[in-house]
Amino acid sequence: MSLFQIDSLPKGWILKLLFLGILIPSPAIADVSIGVLSLRGDAKVTEAWQPMLEHLNQTLPEHQFELVPLGFDEVHLATRQRKVDFIIANSSFFVKLEKLYGASAVATFYTRNADAVAINKFGGVIFSNVDSDDIRLLSDLKGKRIAAVDPSSFGGWQTGLRELHHHGLTASSFRELTFLQTHDAVVNAVQQGDADVGFIRTGTLEQMALENTIQLSDFFVLAERNVVGFPYRLSTALYPEWPLAKLPHVADTLAMEVAIALFNMPESTLVFHSAYGAGWTLSQNYQPVHELLRELKLEPYTYLNNLTLIDTLQRYWQYLLITLLVLIASAVVLLYVVHMNRRLQSQQGTLSQLNNQLEQRVEERTNRIESLLEHEQYLRRIVQTVADVNQIIITSSHRIEMLKSACDRLVSHPEYRFAWVAGFKTGVIEAERLVSSYGSTEQLVALTQHQLSLKHVKNVIQDNTLRILTASDLGNLNADTLELTSAALLPLRSDAFSTAMGVLCVYTHRPSGFDDDEISMLEQLAGDLGFAMHAFIRRDESERAEASRISNYEETILAMVDLIEKRDTYTAGHTRRVACYAELIARKMGLDEQEVQQLVKASTLHDIGKIIIPDAVLLKPGSLTPLEYELIKQHVSVGYETLSAIEMYKDLAELMRHHHERLDGSGYPQGLKDGDIPLPARIMAVADSFDAMTSNRIYKPRKTVEEALAELQRLANIHYDLAVVEAAVETLQSIDVDSQPHAEQLPDSDLERQRFAYFFNDQLTGLYNAEYLRFMLQREMHKHFHSLQMLLLHEFAAFNVKHGWHAGNQLLQAFASWLQTHCPGAMIFRVMGDDFVIINAPDGWLQTNDPVTDSPLAATGVQVEQQRFNCDAAGLEAIQDYLR
């Protein structure tokens, strides 16, 4: 991307260069170079990043991208000389390039683990050979041989160096420190005993184990950390992953095009980095990397190692000035204190005179304070009681349970004798006891059932306001033994503007009754109880509404299933059988009850989309055309769209959506493979295929259970999940398919017989057509034949030519009616246009009825040839040859 400067050349040379440029074509060179830090050698760098390069060349064909592997010592040189336009390097390299050359991050790299979680951070791993029992802590590294990648390797040295500094260790603490340039070399050095401890970046051990070059169990990780969601072994803090950085000479528009292309790159392109995919995301915050390099005083912060006094003054003069000002202020304060001490000494005599007066006043106030303290302690107990009741409100799961616990907690206060909650009687404006605290029967009767007590409660409900009862008000309740002095009746409501839902009644025997602060706290408590009561009531109403909504949805769906049953009893029986088989297989495989029930529901609804399939296709008694098969396949998508629109059926819709997917990707509608197909859908697929094979179809006889299971085993790991097939073989081998509902596709009702006739009736004459005759022969229904004869009409074409096609059709209709009248109980077929086949005709019927002179064919010129066929193999072969 660099420009060739020609401004300073003489004009003659410019013309020569232009002439040479015209005659000699310049070689095709890459106009965008991407430098990549070589962690594990140039070969592995090329293997890892070449798919990304190919993606960029395909996505941005107007540019030619080139990959440039760079060693640790080549990154700065390539940047300074503009040999590369973009750089993919570790995070510390990026910080250096950012500080020194003005590089800027365009995107941050990420990988995915087995749980499909994106990982855009990495750290360092400090490890030893698992057999090195003397190396288990970071402090054990003193005097050991250390192998690292490079002094500028972020994951392979600098992250671990920071941890060593935190433990008081430096590079001088080791017996030997060797930098081997690649992470693989560090791992191999520790494994072979050439080094005691290695420093590498996270993921290296796991990647090498995946490549079968090492065993993870051969290594011990020091200071190991467990970070939620991070799948690799780790010894250090986590830092943002490698960025893709653009250098200052690269145009922002090109950087934006490259970033967009990388964001849209399929994750499968970079599977070298992770078996589960890798890609690029928005640039992350690299401030933690700055902090690490600044703490270790590494480039670009190496200047911190050489700060002089002048440098310190220039850098920190603000802080020094503030310190000086603080010292001056402290001196001023000290002088002021000295001055005040002198004044205090002069006034000490005056104070001694006042002391005597203060002693008297203190004694008076002490008595007052003791009284106030006693009152404060009382209020503290009230506050604690209120706090406990609020805790009950928070933790209770039922309205009555909450009110009962609250009353019991109030009565546990020493000054309170009884508490209860009143509410409305059902249907009338009268008070009744909802709950009460523990107490004697005398208390319960006197305070919750006495008419006067109920009248007070009713007045509070009607007035919707607090009422305080005095000792005289309570004297008429026949509760003298309780020694009550006051009662607080507090309305319970959802907010200050709502009507009362009930009344909280609290009774005290404190001589002075309730004070104002206490009443305020009880009012606040009543407000909390009222709000909680309202919440419980609304929750109950919501649960009832939700239950009603679920019931309505289920009734609607079941009505749709019922509609399908009325349309086609075979399809209805098929869904019930598939649900039964799927449940048996799921229980055999150990699925929990909730998953089993969800699978049964999904199986029951799995063909609900067939409601949109025309009868002419759904009930067709023969093989489907490619177009008809594509139409049949639409029932999966239609069923999914129908059910997914209902919130409670979204999970079921997702299961039934995949019941025609196959492990090898040959299924539909999405062509999913292997583990992409949910397990319940794989179970449903086996149950669906098993039923299809063991049910009689119009165009195909059913298989036995043994044949069907053998077919499933043959297709295991191709179309079907092997574990599911094995469970099906164990579970279904003893199933009695004849006991299952509607295992036959032949018509089962008058309506279905009419639909059946649609396919097998001749539209002109109303007789059976040739297709039905072929069907009977295929189904071996000839076992019920005792006679088979054919009437061949000759000269019928001449009749059509002479009288027209309409007259010919009328003649065929009349002749067909004549045959039906004179052959009662026989099956009559119109074949080949103007020929008729009669099965099981009455004996001797042609001896008494001439098909020409006694029929509508008389005087038409049409002649009839009679042929008879034996109902043996030769005769059936002859009639089949004729039908062909």
- With 0-12 CB in 10 A as exposed, 13-18 as middle and 19+ as buried, what is 401? middle
434: Cβ contacts below 8 Å, ≥ 6 apart? 400, 403, 420, 421, 422, 423, 502
Q: What is the Cα–Cα distance from 109 to 284, expressed in whole angstroms?
A: 9
Pairing of strands 121-122, 416-424: unpaired
Which comes out higher in pLDDT, residue 844 or 805?
A: 805
Place of tokens 């009884």: 418
Res. 309: pLDDT tops 80 = no
Residue 362, pLDDT score: 77
Provide the pLDDT confidence category of residue 504 given band limits of 50, 70 and 90. Answer: very high
CA atoms within 13 A on the CB side of 514: 26
Residue 646, pLDDT score: 77
Cis, bond preceding 25 (omega within 30 deg of 0):
no
In 25-128, alpha helices (H): 42-59, 75-80, 91-101
Place of tokens 């299961």: 655
Two tokens, residue 445: 């009767």
The proportion of the chain whose per-residue pLDDT surpasses 90, expressed as a percent, equals 30
806: Cβ contacts below 8 Å, ≥ 6 apart? none
Residue 662, pLDDT score: 92
Residue 697, pLDDT score: 65
Q: In sequence order, what E strands does 6-154 have?
A: 32-37, 65-70, 86-88, 104-112, 118-119, 121-122, 124-129, 145-148
Place of tokens 């045959």: 819
Provide the pLDDT confidence category of residue 8 given band limits of 50, 70 and 90. Answer: very low
H/E segment holding residue 827: strand 827-831
Distance between first and last Cα of the chain? 75
Residue 273, pLDDT score: 81
3-state secondary structure of 87: strand
Region 127-153 average pLDDT? 93
- Please, which residues bridge with residue 70 across strands? 37
Which comes out higher in pLDDT, residue 82 or 314?
A: 82
H/E segment holding residue 487: strand 486-492
User: How does pLDDT run across 338-378, given as a tens digit for each residue?
Assistant: 888 888 877 776 777 777 777 777 777 777 787 778 778 88
Q: What is the Cα–Cα distance from 330 to 832, expressed in whole angstroms?
A: 122
Please name the amino acid found at residue 534: H
H/E segment holding residue 384: helix 309-395
Mutual angle of helices 750-760 and 770-778, in 10-degree steps? 110
Cis, bond preceding 741 (omega within 30 deg of 0):
no
Provide the pLDDT confidence category of residue 11 given band limits of 50, 70 and 90. Answer: very low
Pairing of strands 104-112, 278-281: antiparallel
H/E segment holding residue 789: strand 788-794
Res. 225: pLDDT tops 90 = yes
Which comes out higher in pLDDT, residue 834 or 192?
A: 192
Contact present, 688 and 634 (Cβ < 8 Å): no
Res. 23: pLDDT tops 50 = no
252: Cβ contacts below 8 Å, ≥ 6 apart? none
CB atoms within 10 A of CB 474: 23
Two tokens, residue 70: 């760079």
Residue 565, pLDDT score: 59
Contact present, 119 and 112 (Cβ < 8 Å): yes
Contact present, 239 and 99 (Cβ < 8 Å): no
Res. 146: pLDDT tops 90 = yes
Res. 15: pLDDT tops 70 = no
Give pTM, 2 decimals.
0.39
222: Cβ contacts below 8 Å, ≥ 6 apart? 126, 127, 128, 135, 136, 137, 138, 140, 141, 197, 235
User: How does pLDDT run across 480-490, given as a tens digit for each residue?
Assistant: 667 888 999 99
Residue 10, pLDDT score: 47
Region 594-610 average pLDDT? 85
Res. 215: pLDDT tops 80 = yes
Residue 615, pLDDT score: 67
User: How does pLDDT run across 767-825, given as a tens digit for each residue?
Assistant: 888 877 777 776 666 666 778 888 899 898 889 888 998 998 999 999 999 998 888 88
Region 173-186 average pLDDT? 92
Q: What is the Cα–Cα distance from 823 to 350, expressed in whole angstroms?
A: 145
Q: What is the Cα–Cα distance from 670 to 658, expressed in whole angstroms?
A: 8
